[in-house]
Amino acid sequence: MTHGELGLQIIIFCLGFFYAIVYYIAVPGIVNLQAVSDQLLAYITAVLTAAFAIGVINLTRVHWINIKRKRATWRYSVILLLCLYSMLVVSVIASPFALDPNSVVIPASVIAFSTPIYNFLYYKILVNINSSIFSLLAFFIASAAYRAFKVRSLESTILLVAGLLVILGQAPISDLIWPGFSVIRDWILAFPNTAGQRGILIGAALGIVVFSVRRLIRYPW
Amino acid sequence: MRVEILATSLKSDPRLVYVILLLVITVPLLTHASVPVPITPTTLTLYQFIQNLPRNSLVVESFDYATSVVPELHPQAIIVTQHLFLRPLKILFVALDNNGPTLAEAVLDTVNKGNKTYGVDYANLGYIPNTATLIGMPSNIPQFLPLDTHGNPTATLPIIKEFPAIKLASLVITFDDDSSAAYSYIQYWEGQYKIPVAVGTTATLAPGFMPLYSSGQVVGVLFSVRAAAEYSTLVYQQYDCCLALSGASSTMVALSASNLLIVVMVVFANVAYFIGRRTSRGSNRT
């Protein structure tokens, strides 16, 4: 480990330890630790916001080189950069992320012109494209359920029966067929599902604690 | 034997399955068929929790979903927001997803805000960019979110003067498409400041919140678009309005039909599987 790495590691350890203390222990004293913690967190916000800008610069560089060198997928790079910057421009003028919503620098007429463009791009294109792609999942689920849900063993039979009962219970019309479907669905979700999920949750939480401690003390050395 | 042939052809070419599913979904939507929606306990508890909140309680609504799940979560957000506006409550809108502020504006454009005034009764604080901000907000809102989405300094808003810190909130509701936002709120707001958390999420993720619901860490779980329909029914029963506002109720027949289709197809596939296995055993013996 170089001196630079060691210094960095000491800073990481001290800050991590400091936040753990502030989170778990209220320390009354001359220095308001909570206020110090809040101020440091505000700095983190500034640093992370700068990271977004680096992301945009990096994306632009990669795709600009693609276009310049006419690589195989350069046409997609053109589309990506066009979409990125057109959305970026209208978003900073007319969106909840607008830089100047009160029209101090940007003229009100420009904001009024950009607002319907932003609304069209966002609500009519982005929302619909993304929703459509996500909706394809229904078709894959239907096809996959048909192919994979087979009674091959005791475990798969239990899974199949439980799955079908939850699917049936989730359908509002099932109560008209037999009200018991809802009761069974609620029971499966409240007991067997909860028990399994708790095991996963506790396992994951312990894993996170172990990973965090290892990161703080930089183990293995 | 015919069953077996049909099952094999469906397995090798699923296009027929796709066509049937498409019909099963679109026909009920186009005919505006409706079906009564039974109320599930996870939806009812959230409705009752909001209904029992004292006057002028602060509720935080967090829009933590991307545009891909708008059909599933937007109806929930619309009807829950409408319910909040029907009650004498103060509402702050935030988002842990960068799509959230825009979707929150869309919801605000849809609901009837009654006589509530922006800045006094509700405000859209916009995007919470990172965990650091989330951790800091319970002790000081203006320091971490200095401007709202309209460019107003949050410190000057009457609602923020009344509630300068999130720790004064009585409820936070997250509409979450990947569990991370809900877990963040549970970890940083519910764990440390005991702010009750409710979750509206997709049907695939909702069962994952049941342990937290059982333990009382989550006061309500909304399951997909069905919960939006249930919530619409509850609001309609109480306030005689808004049944069709979110559009969720009109999708219930399509949802039922598609669920039943999947059940029928799984049963059919298993029947074909057993017939096929029996036939192959018989031919092996001979």
Residue B112 sits in a domain whose CATH number is: 3.40.50
Instruction: Give the CA diameter of chain A.
Output: 72
Query: Chunked in runs of 10, what are the mean pLDDT values of chain B (286 residues)?
Result: 69 82 92 90 97 97 95 96 97 95 95 96 92 88 92 95 96 94 93 95 93 93 95 96 91 93 90 83 71
Co-location of B6 and B139 in the same domain: no
- List CB contacts (< 8 A) between B35 and chain A: 172-173, 176
Angle between helix A33-68 and helix A74-93 axes, rounded to 10 deg: 140
Indicate whether B156 belongs to any domain: yes
Mark whether B93 and B226 lie in a shared domain: yes
For A150, the closest chain B residue by CA position comes to: B270
Compute CA distances A144 → B12, B79, B234, whole Å.
Answer: 12, 33, 35
Nearest in space to B149 (alpha carbons), one of B197, B185, B103, B114: B103
- Shared-domain flag, residues B20 and B127: no
Same domain, B56 and B182: yes
Within-domain flag for B70: yes
| Interface subset of A 116-145, CB within 8 angstroms of B | 122-123, 126-127, 130-131, 133-135, 138-139, 141-143, 145
What is the pLDDT, as a whole number, of residue A148? 81
Question: What pLDDT is recorded for position A19?
Answer: 82
Residue ranges making up the domain that contains B75:
41-247
| B252, part of any domain | no
- Contact of B90 with B57, CB cutoff 8 Å: yes
Residue written as tokens 């997609």? A76
Round to whole Å and give the CA distance between B85 and B74. Answer: 16
Residues of A in contact with B38 (CB under 8 A): 172, 175, 179, 182
Question: In this structure, what is the dihedral angle of CA atoms B106, B112, B116, B117, given to the nearest 10 degrees?
Answer: 40
B-chain CB neighbours of A193 within 8 Å are 207, 210
According to DSSP, residue A107 is labeled: -
Q: Quote the pLDDT of residue A220.
A: 67
CA separation (Å) from B191 to A198, B158, B195, B218? 17, 28, 8, 11
Residue B47 shares a structural domain with residue B21: no
- Of the pLDDT bands very low, low, confident and very high (cuts 50, 70, 90), residue A103 is confident
Asked whether residue B254 is assigned to any structural domain, the reply reads no
- Phi/psi for B124 (5° steps) reads -105, 105
B225 and B280 share one domain:
no
Contacts of A149 in chain B (CB under 8 A): 266, 269-270
Residue B35 lies in a domain: no
Confidence at residue A102, expressed as pLDDT on a 0 to 100 scale:
84
Paired sense of beta strands B58-64 and B90-95, if any: parallel
The residue whose two tokens read 């039979």 is: A157
> Shortest CA distance to B220 belongs to which of B38, B36, B37, B50?
B50
CA atoms within 13 A on the CB side of A38: 16
The confidence band for A29, taking pLDDT boundaries of 50, 70 and 90, is low
Whether B62 and B174 map to the same domain: the answer is yes
Order of strands across the sheet that contains B122-127:
B122-127, B90-95, B58-64, B171-176, B197-201, B218-223
Say whether pLDDT at A37 is over 90. no
Regarding whether B236 and B274 lie in a shared domain, the answer is: no
Show the tokens assigned to B220.
């309500």
Domain count of the fold of chain B: 2
pLDDT tens column, A48-71:
878 888 999 999 999 999 999 999
| B46 and B130 belong to one structural domain | yes
Q: What are phi and psi of B183, to 5 degrees?
A: -65, -35
Answer for the pair B262, A140: CB distance below 8 angstroms, yes or no. Answer: no
* CA-angle at B141, arms to B73 and B94, nearest 5°: 10
Q: A221 pLDDT exceeds 90?
A: no
CB-CB neighbors (< 8 A) of A168 in chain B: 259-260, 263
User: How far is residue A206's CA from residue A154's CA, in Å, rounded to a whole number?
Assistant: 31
Which three-class secondary structure string do you get for chain B?
Answer: CHHHHHHHHHHHCCHHHHHHHHHHHHHHHHHCCCCCCCCCHHHHHHHHHHHCCCCCCEEEEEEECCHHHHHHHHHHHHHHHHHHHHCCCEEEEEECCCCHHHHHHHHHHHCCCCCCCECCCEEEEEECCCHHHHHHCCCCHHHHCCECCCCCEHHHCHHHHHCCCHHHCCEEEEEECCCHHHHHHHHHHHHHHCCCEEEEECCCCHHHHHHHHHHCCEEEEEEHHHHHHHHHHHHHHHHCCCCCCCCCHHHHHHHHHHHHHHHHHHHHHHHHHHHHHHHHHHHHHC
The C-alpha atoms of residue A183 and residue B41 are separated, in whole angstroms, by: 10
Facing residue for B67 by CB, picked from A37, A127, A179: A127
User: Do residues B86 and B187 share a domain?
Assistant: yes
Question: Which of A153, A187, A189 to substitute to test the interface with B, most B CBs within 10 Å?
Answer: A189
Query: Token pair 């409706």 is at which residue?
Result: B34
Q: Which of residues 187-206 of A touch B (CB under 8 A)?
A: 189-190, 193-194, 197-198, 201
Instruction: Give the pLDDT of residue B275.
Output: 85
> Is there a single domain that holds both residue B162 and residue B241?
yes
Tell me: do B24 and B104 sit in the same domain.
Answer: no
Q: Are B11 and B270 in contact (CB under 8 A)?
A: no
How far is residue B150 from each of residues A119, B123, B125, B140, measured CA to CA in Å? 16, 9, 9, 20
Residue A144: pLDDT band with limits 50, 70, 90: confident
| B253 inside domain | no
Q: What is the DSSP letter of A95?
A: S
**pLDDT tens digits, A153-174:** 899 999 999 999 999 999 999 8
Closest-CA distance of chain B to residue A11, Å: 17
Question: What is the C-alpha to C-alpha distance for residues B172 and B185, in angstroms, rounded to an integer?
Answer: 8
CB nearest to B35's CB, from A139, A167, A172: A172
Which of residues 116 through 155 in chain B touch A, CB cutoff 8 A? 124, 126-127, 129-130, 132-133, 135-136, 139-140, 143-144, 149-151
Please indicate whether, in this complex, the C-beta atoms of B144 and A45 are within 8 angstroms of each other. yes
pLDDT for residue B1: 59
Question: What average pLDDT does the segment A138-154 reach?
Answer: 85
User: Residue B204 falls within a domain, yes or no?
Assistant: yes
The reported pLDDT for the residue numbered A96 is 85
Residue B175 lies in a domain: yes
What's the CA gap between B154 and B152, in Å, rounded? 6
